Structure 1
Amino acid sequence: MTTANPSTTGTEAATTPRSPDQGPVREAAAPAQPAPAPVAFTGRIIVGLLGMLFASLMAILNEQVTAAAMADIQGAFLIGHDDGTWLTALFEAANVATMVFAPWFGITFTLKRFTIGAVLATMFFGLLCPFAPNLASLYVLRILQGISGGCLPPMLIIVALRYLPPKFKLYGLAGYAMTATFGPALGTPLAALWTEFVSWRMAFWQIIPLGVLCCIAIAQGLPADPVKLERFRTFNWIGFITGYPAFAMLVMGLLQGDRLDWFNSAFIGFMFCAGGLLLVVFLVNEWFQPVPFFKLQLLKRRNFTHGISTLLGTVILLVGVAAIPGQFLAQIHTYRPLQTTPLSMLLAMPLLITLPLTAALLNTRRADHRWVIAIGLSLMFATFAIGSFMTSEWIRDNFYLMQSLQIIAQPMVIMSILMGVTTGLPPTEGPFASAMFNTVKTFAAAIATGLIEGVGTAREHFHSSMLVDQLGNHALVASAGLDTSFALGQLAHRIHEQAVVLTSADLYRVMACIALALLLLVPVLPVRIYPPWSTTPPASN
């Protein structure tokens, strides 16, 4: 198996040796488009690739740090909780919807120009956010920043597939995996640093120095391809008009569902029904569209289908790993972001070592990515199984073992998914894979948030009711010298505390079930593949 050479044309890519899961070769419905001319892998290209890597990391940090510092941002703007939730929901809706279409525009305006423009826009809107004169203007700025930030992560996969030689492709994908694992883990520590010791404004401005370096590296490192404005003649208007609002509406429904009581709210019902209908129209259109944004025919490849479906569940698990301990410690022990920082740093820093090591393992012929992902998912299952036994006495130290397992588990799962999705993929199909992969990744994060909030609220209400019922079945006698109102207040606090503990344990059990379901997919769906540099499998296979 091999990845097509960057000089391959569209027709040649169709005849590239394919992995066993790809089935019979079929010509694309659209006319074959020539792939970009080959570019020598030089130090200059490495600089450009690093610029793309840090541009993607910048987008992730902008998203995660502002979310972690949202309480301080709301306080600075004198915004209530309900209004503040829209700052996150509108940003995420624009961010997810943009990732569907960013690869198409990146190819049209060239990866170099499009990425630099998106970085500059993200920096500009971030610079303006602290000076927003009112809530409406802040909403607009966050939407615009969500659009510009959503353009950045998809570019990294396209560039890695295009410019990296087969021997180094998995290491390039490890860089992408770093943005998906290391980046979110840095969100809480950086938010704590800015809000506790500098200023809440730095939650918006922190991206500016990194953005300047990104622009310089990309401008100096990547070659300047010609602009392809003629692609607008075949622009998929139906896909754009249906897809963009579909993903935006579904994300807003997921992020606002728990606060507005899900389908008891007419707004949430409309978001899901209208968004779901538009999504169906979008997917049907993409299947028959000669120049689609999503090339759904890629799902005929078993490893691609396995990678996308496992990615959906894995992102939910990653969000759970970060969110459940943070919420528990904040509600039970009133931890602020600064106090949960050691948990995040314990996970973030070792990933800089374990990610490239996992890439090196998968880059050998002996390693079977199915075993690697199975071991990673087993460790994730063990993490959540341990968490299901938590008690109210747990503090930060009790979570260190669980986080330590994630140092090994996350790279094994993410790198195996990336290898399964991209190995054997011609560079001409890179934009389609990038659009689908990044959209599923960010949309799954919204699903995870909705799932954790929805299940958490339902289970907390259930446990609170059960605890009150149990107390009602027993005679409760207050101490003679104890103030009744104080006793009732203490009792209510203890009930709430215990309900939070039981709810957190339930969430860990839900995550364990998801990990187990993903583990059961491994022996069924994916097939054996070999590293990108390996043109043929070993004779013994």
Structure 2
Amino acid sequence: MAEASAPQPGPQQPVFNLRLALGLLGILLAAMTAGLNSRVPGLALADIRGQLGLSYDQGTWLSTLYAAGELIAMPFASWFGITFSLRRFHLSMLLSMMALAVVMPFVGNFYLLAGLRLLQGLFAGALIPLLMGAALRFLPLSIRLHGLALYAMTATLSPNVAVWLAAQLAEDPVSLNWLYWQVIPLGLLAAALVYYGIPASPPALPRLKQGNWLGMALGVPGLGLLAIGIGQGVRLEWLHSPLICLLLGLGGVLTLLFLISEWRHPAPFIRLQMLSRRNLGLGFTVFFFLLVAMSAGVSVPVSVLSQLQGFRLEQMTALGLIIGLPQLFMGSVVALLLYRRWMDARYLFTLGLGLMALGCFLASRITSEWMVDQFFWSQVLQAIGQPIAVVCLLFLGTSVVQPMEGPFVAGIVNTIRALGTLLGGAFVGQLTADRSRFHSDMLLNHAGMWLSHNPAPPAIDNLAQVISTQAAVLASADIFLVFMTLLLVLIPPVLCLQYVPAPRIPAPPAAQAG
């Protein structure tokens, strides 16, 4: 069996100390802030629309354009972080994101607000890749897995805690401003920590002459058009809409040309050749579908209870907290397991997928009488399975990467992450619409056949409402079963990943002497 040995740290790495640890904490907080800035306004979109007098269609554009900005920034952020220095570039992106948050509650024009939201997504999207690159660059081998566990929290903690935060901020018109301002307190703390802790380094401006500017000119509009096409596809019925055809067609061609340009360029923004390594190419493919499946954790139950029971966010905060709060320690628990010599990350990864699949199976037993409490055990299984799967994946992928290759990996994995999250939302939306329509037609046909042979019952006036409710229940059950199947299908590819032994941590000199 082939083994991939954990790479040794590259030369000239800064000495890891408390000051650098605080700087990395600042980068983590900034990435968490970016995640909340994406999720919180989206969850409270109905309240924002009501405050600004926007239609449903206009509201969807605010979320779509923010996601497009995030996706555009992902492949390029790490390169610019090196070129202009990590501390300088990170602070400029973080402060720009917060500056836009300050003015957004006072913008009454929809088109201006949409443009600002696109820019804010661009600034926020640059913060997350910088976290992974910094973790791979600065953290010593003895704690690097814990750093990757912290990065995993941006995918497992922020999106889930956002449900609780959005509920708290959407209670009245005054607090609605804080749907945007909530990034400022945590962002200011993050900025102070980054300024203090991250080493100051001179910009590498000669790199500007080497950049793949043609590729960037293709990639920026290509990724943006793709994101908008995916985000609006369900609402506009995909290829039935000429606009979606144009967005996906042109965006796909430009993105393909961008990838070809990156492959051929001597100094690319993302080094696609690295995907030939099994744990990166196959591993990141698994990661893409894992992100799609992770949408079953909170977004589907929230949507189901909102539709079936008419619940508002404040009545469903437990759904997010059950998954979100354990992430504060679950990632480190997984990291500790991966440091054990007897642990095979592939089998632990499989356990995580199995727990998530079991959680989806339990949720698929939903009925029209389910409340928040009935989702408890399925949420608990998601809370355990998600960090196991994500941290194991990051370990298996980054263990075949040298520290100075971190920026390339960060760009690739975060682009996949943004695209997977977008497609996950679109997949859930389309599957919900299709299965609801299917079950509604089937129930109507059965009801019509029964009524043709039997007298109408007294409750016939409520038949339409009953059919609508039961169709939604059956569609939700189908979604959970589809995600369960997807998670189980991912297990064989995970077992095909290259085995990576536990990192060998050098013993302290005193221990060696003894």
TM-score normalised per structure 1: 0.90
Cα contact 1:365–1:534 (8 A) shared by 2: no
- The residue aligned with 2:165 is 190
Partner residue, 1:221: 197
What's the counterpart of residue 62 of structure 2? 87
Q: CA deviation at 1:139?
A: 0.7
Matches within 5 A, 1:10-409: 37-196=12-171, 199-409=175-385
Q: Quick one: distance in 2 between partners of 1:425 and 1:250? A: 29
Structure 1 position 235, deviation (Å): 1.3
Query: Per-residue displacement from partner, 1:412-449 (whole Å, max 9, x unpaired)?
Result: 10001110111131122111100000110111000001
* SS at 2:396 equivalent: helix
Q: Deviations over 1:39-95 (max 9, x none)?
A: 111110011010001010010011111111111111110001011100000110111
The residue type equivalent to 1:424 in the other structure is: V
Name the aligned partner's letter for residue 418 of structure 1. L
3-state DSSP of counterpart to 2:400: coil
Asked if structure 2 preserves the Cα contact closer than 8 Å seen for 1:4 and 1:424, the reply is no
Alpha-carbon separation, structure 2, partners of 1:133 and 1:456 = 33
* Equivalence map 1:419-430=2 (5 Å): 419-430=395-406
Contiguous gaps of at least 5 residues in structure 1: 8-36, 536-541
Contact 2:338 2:502 in 1 (8 A): yes
Confirm whether residue 3 of structure 1 aligns to residue 4 of structure 2.
no
| Partner Cα distance (1:139, 1:406) in 2 | 34
Task: State whether residues 310 and 518 of structure 1, in contact with CA within 8 Å, keep that contact through their aligned partners in structure 2.
Answer: yes
CA displacement at 1:302 relative to structure 2: 0.9
Aligned equivalent of 1:495, options 467, 475, 480: 467
Aligned residues: 499
Aligned partners of 1:365, 1:350: CA distance in 2, in Å? 25
Structure 2: distance between partners of 1:139 and 1:266: 22
The secondary structure found in structure 2 opposite 1:129 is helix
Q: Name the SS of the counterpart of 1:461 in structure 2.
A: helix
1:432-511 to structure 2, matched below 5 A, reads: 432-475=408-451, 477-478=455-456, 487-488=460-461, 490-511=462-483
* CA-atom RMSD in angstroms: 1.4
Residue 176 of structure 1: SS of its match in structure 2?
helix
- Which residue identity does 1:175 align to in structure 2? L
Instruction: Judge conservation of contact 2:275–2:281 (CA < 8 Å) in 1.
Output: yes
CA contact (8 A) 1:191 1:203 kept: yes
Q: 3-state DSSP class of the match of 2:130?
A: helix
| In structure 2, C-alpha distance between the alignment counterparts of 1:523 and 1:434, rounded to whole Å | 23
Which residue in 1 is equivalent to 2:495? Answer: 523
Which residue does 1:21 correspond to in 2? none
Percent identical pairs in the alignment equals 36
> TM-score scaled by structure 2?
0.95
Task: Answer whether contact 1:99 1:438 (CA < 8 A) is retained.
Answer: yes
Following TM superposition, by how much is the alpha carbon of 1:4 offset from its aligned partner in structure 2, in angstroms? 3.3
Q: For 2:476 and 2:446, how far apart are their aligned partners in 1?
A: 20
Question: CA shift at 1:301, angstroms?
Answer: 1.0
Q: Distance in 2 between matches of 1:213 and 1:228?
A: 27
Q: Which blocks of at least 5 consecutive residues in structure 2 are unaligned? A: 507-514
